[in-house]
Structure 1
Amino acid sequence: MPAATSFRSLFAMLCLATAATLATGQSPPVVKPVLPPEIAQPRFVVPDASQPLVLQRVNVQAQLAGTQAQTSVEIVVHNPNARVLEATLEFPLAEGQGVAGFALDINGELVSAVPVPKDKGRQVFDDVTRQRVDPALLERTAGNSFKLRIYPLPPQGERRVLLQLTETLHADTKGPWRWRLPLDFGQPIARFDGRIALRGATAKLLPQGALAGAESFANADEAGLQIQRQNWQPREALAVSWQATPADSTLVQPYAGSAYGYAELAVDATRGAAKPPRELHLVWDASGSGAQRDHAREFALLDALFAAARDVRVNLTVARDAAEPAAAFDVKAGDWRVLRNKLETLAYDGATSAAAWSAGFGPARDGAVTLLFSDGLVNWPAITATPAGPLAPVFAVTAAARIDAPRLRRLAESQGGRLVDLNRLDTLTALDALIRPALRLADVRADGAEQVVTASQRPEDGRLLIAARLTAPQATLQLTLVDAQGRRVPRTLTFKTPPAAKTTDDDAAVPLAARRWAELRSAELEADRPRHRAEIRRLGEQFRLVGPETSLIVLDNLADYVRHEIVPPTAAMRAAYQQQARLRDAERGQARERQLDSLVRRFAERQAWWEREFPKDAPPPPKPVAIESADVGRLRDARVAESMQRVAPVSAPAMAAPPPPPELMIAAPAPVAESVSVSVTGTRASAKRSDTAPAPSATIALRRWEPDAAYARRLREASDADRYAVYLDERAGYTNSTAFFIDAAEIFFTKGQQALALRVLSNLAEMELENRHILRILAYRLTQADELKLAIPLLERVRELAPDEPQSHRDLALALAQAGQPQRAVELLWDVAARPWDGRFAEIDLIALTELNAIAARTSAVDLGRVDPRLRRNLPLDLRAVLAWDADNTDIDLWVTDPDGEKAYYGHRLTRQGGAMSRDFTGGYGPEEFSLRQAKPGRYEVRAQFFGHRQQLVSPYTTLMLWLATGYGTPGQKDERVVLRLSGRGEQVLVGTFDVAPPAGGGGR
C-alpha cells in the first residue's frame, strides 16, 4: 500500500473513532501528529576553564552515495585560558550513524587513532595525562552517545581534531532521502566551511536547515552544495534532501583475508488491515533518565492509539530500579484522560532495570500487546527472574536523544514486536507500525556464507539490510519473508566476489561491506553482552569500531605505544614496535618473579611484627619537646616529599619510632555522638597465643553520618508519608550531586524506608553511566546496606572499567566473600597480591594477602592451590581499621589513637603497644590499614584526614569507605562499615571507636 493511501486510511479510521466518541457525548481525544525532532547537539565540556573555548575553524565534508554517507568534521579549538586544560567533546549520533575514525594533530601533523580495548584506552589516557603529553581518546559512553577526550589544550594555544562519521541514510515519511548533521556547539564558529556532494546521481540536493542559502555546484562525477561563513552559530542542523528511488544493491569487498557481502533489498511495504489492541500492557520507564524523553511525542502516539483502539483494558507498570505493582485502567471510546494524568504526574527517579521492564510484560493472549516506553539505557542489576511462558508481542517505543537502540530492537523482535523510534517517525507512521502488520524476515539459509546478520527483521524505509561473511567465491542466501497477510514469500540473494578483488592492507580504511557486517554483528551480540564480550572486543579491534568494548586512541610517540602495548597506526612504526615488544615480553616475566620475591620478604616482616611482644603497661611520661610552627610546616613539607616516593616496607626492627610531637597529637578521646554499637564477645587467651585465639571483648561504635545541609534537616524532620515528596522537592537543585543522593538515601535507610532508600541511591547509576568512581561509591553503600545482590554486579562493572586498578579486584573479592563466595574471593585477592601493579598502588598486595588468609582461615572448603605456600598463614588481629576513598590522585590519611593517647598515622607507623599503620597512599584510592594483634583495654579512636588531591574530583566532596573489624581472621570476627565524606583539604572526621573491655576477672594484661 502506498504511503499516501496508508495515511488516508489511518486518518479515516481516526475520524470514525472521533465520530463514535461524539455520539456517546464524551469529549473526543485530540490527535495531533508530532514530527521527529532534530538530533541532539554536540557540546564541549571543560570543567576547569575560566573562559569558554573558542571554535577557530570547523570544516565539514560529506560524500553521499546511494544510501551511504561518509562525513568528516575537522575542528580547530583555541584555549584562551592561562592554564593547560583537558576538553571533552560529547556528541550523540542518530541510529545508523557511526564513528569510522579520528585523528589528532601532533607536532603539526594529523595522526590517526588506533583501536584499543575500552578499559585499556581509559587507563592509558589517564596514565599519559599524568605525564602531561598528548593523548586523545574517543569512546562510546552509553547507547548512541560518544565522547572525545583531548589533552592537553595548551594555554593560549590550539588543537586540531578530525572526526570521520559513517551513516546509513533513511527516507523521511514523505519520500525524499535526507542527510543532516547537528552543529550548534552553543557558541559561534569563527570560520565555517562546508561541502556536501552527491555522487553518481542526477538528483539535485535541496538545502535545508542551516544550509539554507548554500551555493550549488556540479561536475561530471557529483553535484552538491558548499557554504562558507564567518562568526557563525548554526541554530539548526545542516541538512539536505533529494529524491531517489530505492532499489536492490549488493556489494562484496575483501578485508583482512576475508570477503564480506552487504545488501540492501527493496521489499514490499504493503501493510495489512489495522489490528488495534484489545488488551494493552503499558510499561513506562520512570527512571531518572526518563525525564529526558520527549513525552509530548509519546503522548501523541498514545492519543492516536487509543483513538484507534477505542475500548481497551490497560495494565500500567511503572518501572525504575524496581517495578511498581501494576495498576489497571479501562479506556472507553478512546478517552484515556485518567491514565494520562497518572503518566503526566509521575516522578522520574532512580536507575533503569531491565528486570523491572519484564515484570510488566503481559502473557500471550489474543489481542494483547505490550508497549515499552524507554530509552533502553539499562544501568541497574537485574536480580529478579523474567516472566515464564509465552508473552504478548512487545513494541519498544523510544523518544530520547540518548538511546540504546540495539538493546530495544533485539528485545522487541525476540518477542514478536519491533522498535518504534519516534526520533525518525512521525505520530501516524509510528501508529501504523504498531497496529498494521507488515512484511518481516522469518528465516535465512546460507550456502557459501556464515554469520548472516540483519539490521532488523522488519524492513525500514522499504529496505531490508543484510550482511554476511563469505566462505566461497559465490554465496547464496535463501530468504523466507512473511508478508502482511501472513503468506511466506521466498527470495534469493547472491553475493559474488569480483575476480580482481584484493585484500586491503592494515593501513587502509575498513571498506563499507566489511564495516557494515561488523557493525550489525556487534549489535546482534550486544543483546547478550556479558556472554559475548570477547567477540565484541575482537570485532571492535579488527574493524576499528567505537563500541561497548573498544575505543580509539592517539598517543604521542612510539615509546607510549610500546609501554602500553598498543599497536601503532602506521606500518613504519609497527616494525620498530614489534622489535621493542619482544624485549617487553621478557621483562614482564621477570617483573612477576620480582613481585613474588618482594611479597615473600615483606610478608616475613609482617609475621615478625605479629609474633613480637609489645608492652601493654602505662607508657612513661613524654619528654617535653618545643616545636616552633615553622618546624611543623617543615614536617608537613617533608611528608609531601615522602608521599611522592616509594616508601620502604615496614620491618619489625625498623617499625619502632618515637611518639609524634605534642603539637601533632590529638586530644584525649571524646564520646562519639549518635553512634550505633555492636558487641563483640570473646575471652582473652594468654599473651603468647596461637593464630586462632579468640578476640577480646570489644565494642565498635560508628559515627552515624548526619550532614548539616538544609535539605538533610528537612528530610529528617519530615514524616514517613511526606519524606519522599520533600526529597523530590529538593532534588531539582542537586541533580548532579553525588553527595545529595548519598545523604538522602542515608536518611531513608535510617528511617527504615528501604525500598525508597534504594531508589534514591540508585540515581548514582544514572549520573554518569560509565564513571567507575561513582559506581564504586554506589556499590560500597549497597554493601553497607547488605544489598550484596545489587552491589556485586556493580563491582563487576567497575572491574571491567578499571582492570588496571587493584582496588577494583579487591573490592569485588571482599563483597563476594561477604556474600558467601569465598573461593572466587580468594582467587581475586591472589591476583591482587601476585600481580605487579603501578608504583602508586604499592603495598596493596600485602593488604590483599592478609585478607586472603583471613577468608581462608574462616572457610575450610577454600582451595589455596594457586597461592604460594610461603604466603599461606593467617595472622588474626584484635582490631583492624581499613580506609578507602572514591577519588583517584587523592591523599586521605587514616589516624588511630590508642588509650595511651598515641597516634598511628603516616609519620608514626608503629605505636608503643604494637599498632601498625600501612604505607601512606597518596596516588590512588587507598586502602590504608591499621592493624593491632593484641589490644590493651580502653578506647581507640579512628579518624580520617583529607590532605589534598591532584585531579578534577567527581564532586566537591570525597567519599570515604571505612571498615572496622574486631577479632579479624577468627571465627568471632565482627565487622562494621560506614560511608561518609570530607569536603576539602585539612578537614578531618571522627569515624568511630573501638572500646576494648578488660579481660574476664578484671585483671590487666
Structure 2
Amino acid sequence: MKMYPKQRCRLVLTLLVLLVAVVTRAQVPVMEINENGKYRSDQTVTLQQLSADVKVVGNIATTTMRMRFYNGSGRLKEGRLTFPLPEEVSVSGFALDMNGVMRKAVPVEKEKATAVFESIERRQVDPGILEKTEGNNFRTRIYPLNPDGVRTVEITYNQELSSSNGQLVYYLPLAGKTIASFSLSASVYETVAVPQLIEKPDGGFVFEKKGNVWKASISKSDFTPDQSLKIAFPQQVNAPRTLVKRKDADSWYFLTNVQIIPPAPVVKPLQQVTILWDNSLSGRKRDHKKEKAFLEKLFATKSNINVTLYAVATATKKVGDYAVSNGAIGGLLKAVDEMIYDGATDYSSIPALPPGGDLLFFTDGLSNFGEWSQLPSKPVYPVVATPVANYSKLRYYSSSTGGQLIDLNQTDVAGAAAQVMHKPYRFLGVKYLYDISNVNPATAAVSGGNLMITGIVRKLPVTLTLQFGYGNKVAQEIPVTLDAQQTAGDWAIETFWAQQQLAALEPFYDQNKETISRLGKEFGIVTPNTSLIVLESVADYVKYKIAPPAELLQEYKALVKRRQLNQEEAWDNYLAAAKERMKDLKEWWHTNYPIKRSTKKITEPRRMEDREVMAAPAPAQERSNIQTISGEELKDLPDANIPGLLQGRVAGVNAATSQMEETVVVGYRAAPKGKVTAIDIKSDAEYLKPMDAAVSMDAAYRTYLRLRENYQTTPSFYFDMANWFYGKRETGRAIDIISNLVELELEDAVLYKTVAYLLKKYGAYDKELVITKKVLDWRPMDPQSYRDYALALQDNGKYQQALDTLYAALTQSYTEEARTRDQGIEEVLLMELNHIASRYNARVNTSKIDKALLYRLPVDIRVVLNWNMDHTDIDLHVTDPKNEECYYGSRETSLGGRISDDFTDGFGPEQFLLKKAIRGKYQIKTNFFGERQVTVAGPPTLMAEVFLRYASGNEERKIVVFQDAKGSRAANADGQVLIAAFDF
C-alpha cells in the first residue's frame, strides 16, 4: 500500500458577511464547517472577538473589521472566509496573525499568489491569501485553526454610500449572536449636522463632536447587539462635496460627490418590452418575490404593452407573448412561476432580438457557459435581486445600450419602476478637460440621485464643469471648484479612483488584464487577477520574489543582498526536461521489440519516495540496435498510416515556416485494424432506480427534478444523472444537467474539469473550449490547465492555437514544488505537440518551437488517464496479450509498452504507449489510492482517452469518464477498475 506523509484534515470555514446598503435582516458573521463536502454550522468554532472601525467623509466610507475565531474542538481545522460586497466595493486591506502578531498582506498577481500559496501549503507551512472570484465576491483561506487555538483576520474595504430619501446611508450588519469581546468605533468627518443613528447596537452608542469629527464608540464583553449600525447623513442638492490629494509633484487626485435632481424628469413610452429571464440553476437564489413585485409595479397602470418572455440557461427559449392592459399580467407571472431552473448560464445562446422597445434582463451577470457576442439594439435594463452579481458587467450592458442597472438590493420596487418609465438622466462628462484626465465614470446614469466622480487634475485651483442630461443633450451644468484647502489628509481617495478605473476595465477583462493587474498591485486592491497574500517567513518572500510588508522590508533586503537563498530555483519551466525526455522517447521508439526481460511484478509495499527508483526505465544495454526501412520497403505502406511519407523519410512542413525534423521511419506500420470497447462503469446510487422506472424521457426528466430537491449541492448526483440521460441518447439533456456543476461554486476548477471531461465525451466541443479556458484563466500555475485547453482547441479545429498552447505549457515558469509534483508531464505534452505538428503540418507553423522537441512518434496504442483533483494518486495499468502488465512498478514491457512517470500527488496525467501492437486482447485498468483533500466536488473524476494508431492519420479515439473512490464497487480485489479493452 502507499505510504503518505502525515495527512491533514482539510476542512472549510465559511464566513458570510452581507454588506448591502439596504437589507431587511441584519446578519453577524456566520461560520460553517465543511464536513465531507457539506457546509454545516459547528458550535465548537466561535467568533470570539469582533471589532469594527468605521470612517466616513462625504459619501465615502472605509470599514476595517477584525475577527478572532476560537476553535474549541480537539481537531485541526482549515478555514475559508467568503463574502460578497456591493457594487464597486473592493477589499483593499487584509491581515492575518502570524505567531501572535498581525501581518499585513501584499498585492501579488492572482496566479502567482495561488501558486505560492499551494507550494508552501505542500510543505505544511501555510500562508494566507485573499482573492476575488466571479462577480464581486471575495474569499480567503486560513490555516491552521489549532485545537483550543485562535486565529485573527482583518479585512478593510472601501465603499461609496448609497442615497435614500435625500440622505446618504451607511449600514453595517451586527445584530445577532453573543460575542465574547465586541468593540465598535465610528468617525464622521467634515459635516455640520450631527449624524443620525437610525439603528445602533447599544443605547450608549452616541456621537460627540471632537474638532471637525463626530465620534462614537463602545466596548463590551459578552455582548449581544440589539441592532445593527445604520447612520444617515443629510445631503444638499447640487452641492458637491470634494476632496483632493496630491498624486505627485505635478498632479492631484480628486473626488467629488453630487446629489443630482433632474430638472424635469422625462417620461418615456412603454409599449414593447422584451424580458430575458435567467432560469439557470443559480437563478433559484434570486429574490423572485422582489422581481415579481417590480413587474407588477411597472405594469400597474399601463395599457397596450406587448411583452415577449424568453428563458435563458444553456439555451435561450421563447416562452410566449403577452398583451398587458391595465396592469393585468397574470399570464406573465404564471409563466415566471412555472420556470424550471436548471443548467448553466449561456448568454451566447441569446438570439438576435428585433430593435425597438426596452429589454429587462433578470440575472446575476454570471455567465459561465458563454458570453454575449453582440448586445441588443435596444436599451438593456439588468435587474439584480441577489447580493452575488457581476455588477461591472451588467452596468456595462446598460450604459452601452442606453438603459440603466436596476439593483433591487438597494432600490425599492417603486423606485425601480420609475427608472424604467423615465429616460435615464446621465452624467455626460466634464466640459473643457484641458488639465483633467482619467475621469471616472466617463459617463453614467445617475442612480438614486447620487454620483461620485474621481479623476486626476494637473493644477490647483481649478473649476470643473460637470454636464448632465438626457441622451447626449446637455440639460444641466454644475461647477465644482477644486483647491488645495480640500485636502483629504491621509484619506486614501486614490483607492476610490482606482476602484472606479477597475470597474470600467473589468467588463473587457481579456483586453485589460495587464492594466487591471497593474492597478491592483499599485493600490493594493483585490481584483480578478490580483490577490493579497501573507507569508510566514521572510525567506519565503525572498524565494518567491514577493516584496514583503514594510515591517519586514529591511530583513528582506538583507537576505536578498547576502543571497542566502538561490532565488532562481523557485521558478522554472519544463524546457530542459522536455529535451532530455525527447531523447529518451526517440531511443525507445527506435528500439526493436520484443526484448527479453523479467516480467516479475513488484509486490512489496512501497513508500511514495521509493516510486521513482522503482519506476526507472529499462537499462540501455537491453535495447536493440536501430533498424531502418528502405524506400523500397515503404512503397507498400498505406498512405493513411503516416501522412507525408517521402522516400523513406517523414516529410517536414514547409521549410520557411517549420523546424519539424525529417525523421527516419523505423520498424513502424500502423495496425490495420482494432476495436476498442469502453466499459460502462455504472453508479449504484439509489436515486437512479426511480429513473429506470420512468415510462418516457419527459417523465424521467420530471423524476430528476423531483429527486434534485434532496441533492441540489451534490456533484455526483448531476454526474450520474447526466450519464443516465446520455445513455438514453438524450445528449442535450445530459449537457444541460452536467452544466449545473459550474453553478454550484464560483471558480471551482475541480468541478469545471469534471464538466470539461464529460463535454468532451459528449462531443460538445464548443462548450468544452469555454470551460477549459476558464480553468486556464484561474489556474495558469498548472501545466494541466494549458494541456486541457490545448486539447479542447484541437477538438475545435484550432490547430495552431492548440500547438502554441501546448508549447506554452512547457515554457511557462512554475514553482519548484509544482515542478516536483508534475515531473514527467513533459512526456505526455511531447506526444501531443508532435501529433498536431505532424498530422496538421500544412496548417500549423512550428518555427517558434525548439527544434529539439519536434519528432514524429506514431504508435499503435496510446492511453492517457486524467483526473480532476490535486493531492490525488491514481495509477494506470495496461495488460497486453502476453498477460504482461505495464504500470508504475513495471514501466516497460517486453513488447515495448511504456508507462510515463507515476504521479502520486497531483492531477496526473499518466500515459501508456505501445509502438507496435501484436494480435490479442489488451485491458486498461485504473487503481485509486486516495486523495488528501475533502472538497465539495465529491470523489475524483477520471477521464481515460484510448487511441488506436495514434499520430498515424487514421486514428480511433474512445473516451471513458467515471468517478472513482477508494473502495469503489467497480473495483476488483486488487482495487483495480477495468475501464476499457481492445482487440487487434
* TM-score higher than 0.5: yes
**Kept after mapping to 2: 8 A contact 1:567/1:574:** no
Distance of 1:875 and 1:156 partners within structure 2: 58
Distance of 2:22 and 2:170 partners within structure 1: 16
Distance of 1:642 and 1:306 partners within structure 2: 73
Distance 1:962-1:422 versus aligned 2 partners, 3 A rule: same
Distance 1:496-1:579 versus aligned 2 partners, 3 A rule: farther
**Kept after mapping to 1: 8 A contact 2:51/2:183:** yes
Distance 1:888-1:392 versus aligned 2 partners, 3 A rule: same
User: How many percent of aligned residue pairs carry the same amino acid?
Assistant: 30
Distance 1:787-1:36 versus aligned 2 partners, 3 A rule: same
Distance 1:751-1:95 versus aligned 2 partners, 3 A rule: same
Amino acid at match of 1:204: V
Using the TM superposition, give the Cα deviation of residue 282 of structure 1 relative to its aligned residue in structure 2, in angstroms: 1.0
Q: Tell me, yes or no, if structure 1 residue 551 matches structure 2 residue 531.
A: yes
**Kept after mapping to 1: 8 A contact 2:577/2:826:** no
Q: Tell me, yes or no, if structure 1 residue 241 matches structure 2 residue 201.
A: no
Aligned match of 1:880: 862
Amino acid at match of 2:841: S
Q: Tell me, yes or no, if structure 1 residue 426 matches structure 2 residue 385.
A: no
Partner of 2:156, secondary structure, is: strand
**Kept after mapping to 1: 8 A contact 2:201/2:226:** no
Q: Tell me, yes or no, if structure 1 residue 537 matches structure 2 residue 537.
A: no
Q: 1:379 aligns with which of 357, 363, 368?
A: 368
Q: Deviations over 1:687-741 (max 9, x none)?
A: x963763234111111124212122233344211222211111112222222111
Provide the TM-score with structure 1 as the length reference.
0.84
Aligned match of 1:196: 186
Distance of 2:967 and 2:217 partners within structure 1: 55
**Kept after mapping to 2: 8 A contact 1:42/1:91:** no
Partner of 1:47, secondary structure, is: strand
Using the TM superposition, give the Cα deviation of residue 163 of structure 1 relative to its aligned residue in structure 2, in angstroms: 1.5
Aligned match of 1:519: 499
Aligned match of 1:223: 214
**Kept after mapping to 1: 8 A contact 2:202/2:225:** no
Aligned match of 2:444: 457
Aligned match of 2:254: 261
Amino acid at match of 1:699: K
Distance 1:791-1:444 versus aligned 2 partners, 3 A rule: farther
Aligned match of 2:656: none
Aligned match of 2:752: 775
Using the TM superposition, give the Cα deviation of residue 112 of structure 1 relative to its aligned residue in structure 2, in angstroms: 0.8
Using the TM superposition, give the Cα deviation of residue 209 of structure 1 relative to its aligned residue in structure 2, in angstroms: 4.5
Q: 2:945 aligns with which of 949, 955, 963?
A: 963
Distance 1:272-1:871 versus aligned 2 partners, 3 A rule: closer
Distance 1:316-1:608 versus aligned 2 partners, 3 A rule: same
Partner of 2:896, secondary structure, is: coil
Distance of 2:206 and 2:298 partners within structure 1: 43
Distance 1:141-1:602 versus aligned 2 partners, 3 A rule: closer
Q: Tell me, yes or no, if structure 1 residue 250 matches structure 2 residue 250.
A: no
Q: Tell me, yes or no, if structure 1 residue 489 matches structure 2 residue 465.
A: no
Q: Tell me, yes or no, if structure 1 residue 858 matches structure 2 residue 858.
A: no
**Kept after mapping to 1: 8 A contact 2:750/2:937:** no
Q: Tell me, yes or no, if structure 1 residue 919 matches structure 2 residue 901.
A: yes
Using the TM superposition, give the Cα deviation of residue 537 of structure 1 relative to its aligned residue in structure 2, in angstroms: 1.1
Distance of 2:487 and 2:276 partners within structure 1: 54
Partner of 1:722, secondary structure, is: helix
Q: Tell me, yes or no, if structure 1 residue 86 matches structure 2 residue 74.
A: no
Aligned match of 1:1002: none
Q: 1:403 aligns with which of 372, 383, 389?
A: 389
Q: Tell me, yes or no, if structure 1 residue 703 matches structure 2 residue 702.
A: no
Q: Deviations over 1:510-564 (max 9, x none)?
A: x533111111111011121111111111111111111212111111121111222
- Once superposed, what is the RMSD of the aligned Cα atoms? 3.3
Using the TM superposition, give the Cα deviation of residue 455 of structure 1 relative to its aligned residue in structure 2, in angstroms: 8.1
Distance of 1:703 and 1:746 partners within structure 2: 13
Aligned match of 2:201: 211
Q: 1:650 aligns with which of 617, 639, 643?
A: 617
Distance of 2:761 and 2:280 partners within structure 1: 24
Q: 1:337 aligns with which of 324, 327, 330?
A: 330
Using the TM superposition, give the Cα deviation of residue 828 of structure 1 relative to its aligned residue in structure 2, in angstroms: 2.1
Aligned match of 1:4: none
Q: 1:178 aligns with which of 169, 177, 202?
A: 169
Using the TM superposition, give the Cα deviation of residue 868 of structure 1 relative to its aligned residue in structure 2, in angstroms: 2.8
Distance of 1:241 and 1:112 partners within structure 2: 32
Distance of 1:581 and 1:809 partners within structure 2: 36
Distance of 1:713 and 1:293 partners within structure 2: 32
Distance of 1:250 and 1:360 partners within structure 2: 44
**Kept after mapping to 2: 8 A contact 1:38/1:237:** no
Distance of 2:487 and 2:401 partners within structure 1: 44
Using the TM superposition, give the Cα deviation of residue 941 of structure 1 relative to its aligned residue in structure 2, in angstroms: 0.8
Partner of 1:721, secondary structure, is: helix
Distance 1:118-1:235 versus aligned 2 partners, 3 A rule: farther
Using the TM superposition, give the Cα deviation of residue 946 of structure 1 relative to its aligned residue in structure 2, in angstroms: 0.8
**Kept after mapping to 2: 8 A contact 1:129/1:135:** yes
Using the TM superposition, give the Cα deviation of residue 966 of structure 1 relative to its aligned residue in structure 2, in angstroms: 0.6
Aligned match of 2:50: 58
Q: Tell me, yes or no, if structure 1 residue 605 matches structure 2 residue 591.
A: no
Q: Tell me, yes or no, if structure 1 residue 849 matches structure 2 residue 850.
A: no
Q: Deviations over 1:74-106 (max 9, x none)?
A: 111111233332111222222353322021111
Distance of 2:198 and 2:610 partners within structure 1: 63
Provide the TM-score with structure 2 as the length reference.
0.86
**Kept after mapping to 2: 8 A contact 1:359/1:387:** no
Amino acid at match of 1:707: S
Using the TM superposition, give the Cα deviation of residue 312 of structure 1 relative to its aligned residue in structure 2, in angstroms: 1.2
Aligned match of 2:146: 154
Distance of 2:75 and 2:613 partners within structure 1: 29
Q: Tell me, yes or no, if structure 1 residue 813 matches structure 2 residue 804.
A: no
Distance of 2:82 and 2:445 partners within structure 1: 31
Distance of 2:344 and 2:27 partners within structure 1: 22
Deviates more, 1:280-289 or 1:211-220: 211-220
Distance of 1:689 and 1:996 partners within structure 2: 25
Distance 1:47-1:938 versus aligned 2 partners, 3 A rule: same
**Kept after mapping to 2: 8 A contact 1:602/1:649:** no
Using the TM superposition, give the Cα deviation of residue 575 of structure 1 relative to its aligned residue in structure 2, in angstroms: 7.2
Aligned match of 1:827: 804
Distance 1:124-1:38 versus aligned 2 partners, 3 A rule: farther
Q: Tell me, yes or no, if structure 1 residue 439 matches structure 2 residue 391.
A: no
Q: Deviations over 1:288-323 (max 9, x none)?
A: 111111111111111111112233111001111221
Distance of 2:776 and 2:622 partners within structure 1: 34
Distance of 2:466 and 2:902 partners within structure 1: 65
Q: 1:839 aligns with which of 810, 817, 820?
A: 820
Distance 1:325-1:616 versus aligned 2 partners, 3 A rule: farther
Q: 2:546 aligns with which of 545, 549, 566?
A: 566
Aligned match of 2:887: 905
Q: Deviations over 1:965-991 (max 9, x none)?
A: 010111111111121110226754545
Partner of 1:55, secondary structure, is: strand
Partner of 2:620, secondary structure, is: helix
Distance 1:681-1:556 versus aligned 2 partners, 3 A rule: same
Alignment of 1:669-748 (within 5 A): 690=666, 693-718=669-694, 719-748=696-725
| Alignment size in residue pairs | 910
**Kept after mapping to 1: 8 A contact 2:865/2:909:** yes
Distance of 2:22 and 2:607 partners within structure 1: 63
Distance of 2:713 and 2:108 partners within structure 1: 30
Partner of 2:268, secondary structure, is: coil
Partner of 1:340, secondary structure, is: helix
Distance of 1:590 and 1:727 partners within structure 2: 49
Distance 1:894-1:996 versus aligned 2 partners, 3 A rule: same
Amino acid at match of 1:602: R
Aligned match of 2:781: 804
Aligned match of 1:308: 301
Q: Deviations over 1:383-422 (max 9, x none)?
A: x75367xx22211111112111111111111111101111
**Kept after mapping to 1: 8 A contact 2:22/2:171:** no
